[in-house]
């Protein structure tokens, strides 16, 4: 069995993910990875004050994970405002799947992604 190393930070605001999350007012970010299907995804819940988060999924070949993180944070925040201004009792959420939509789409990948989404209830 391999050993797990946990890195701690004295100040969580030094963490770029926590810092971005705090700056934009997000409630939750879920990082999803499944080697068997090739899935790498990020699910972002911005605000559920008005109700459960509503939003879609974008599959894009980001240059790196930080680019994907910035996109999903921006998109989920936009969904909060879009749902609110539309008079919906729904919050804002969004997901990105990191990968080439022309070559990486598979039933296994989307089923595994669906399991991650379902885990949010």
Cα R_g (the chain), whole angstroms: 15
From the list 82, 94, 102, 105, the catalytic residue is 94
Collapse the DSSP code of 80 into the 3-class scheme (helix H, G, I; strand E, B; otherwise coil) and give the result: helix
On the CB side of 99, CA atoms within 13 Å amount to 22
Extended strands (E) in 14-67: 28-34, 39-47, 53-54, 57-60
Per the annotation, the verdict on 94 as an active-site residue is yes
Catalytic residues: 94
């Amino acid at each position: 069995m391999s050993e797990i190393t946990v890195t701690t930070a004295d100040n969580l605001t030094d963490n770029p993910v926590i810092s971005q999350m705090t700056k934009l007012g997000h409630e939750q970010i879920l990082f999803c990875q499944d080697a068997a299907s090739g899935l790498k995804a990020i699910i972002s819940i911005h605000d559920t004050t008005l109700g459960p988060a509503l939003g879609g999924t974008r599959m894009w070949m980001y240059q790196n994970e930080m680019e994907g993180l910035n996109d999903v944070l921006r998109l989920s925040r936009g969904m909060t405002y879009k749902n609110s201004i539309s008079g919906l009792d729904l919050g804002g959420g969004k997901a990105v799947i990191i990968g080439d939509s022309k070559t990486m789409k598979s039933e296994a990948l989307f089923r595994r992604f669906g399991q991650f989404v379902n885990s949010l209830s």
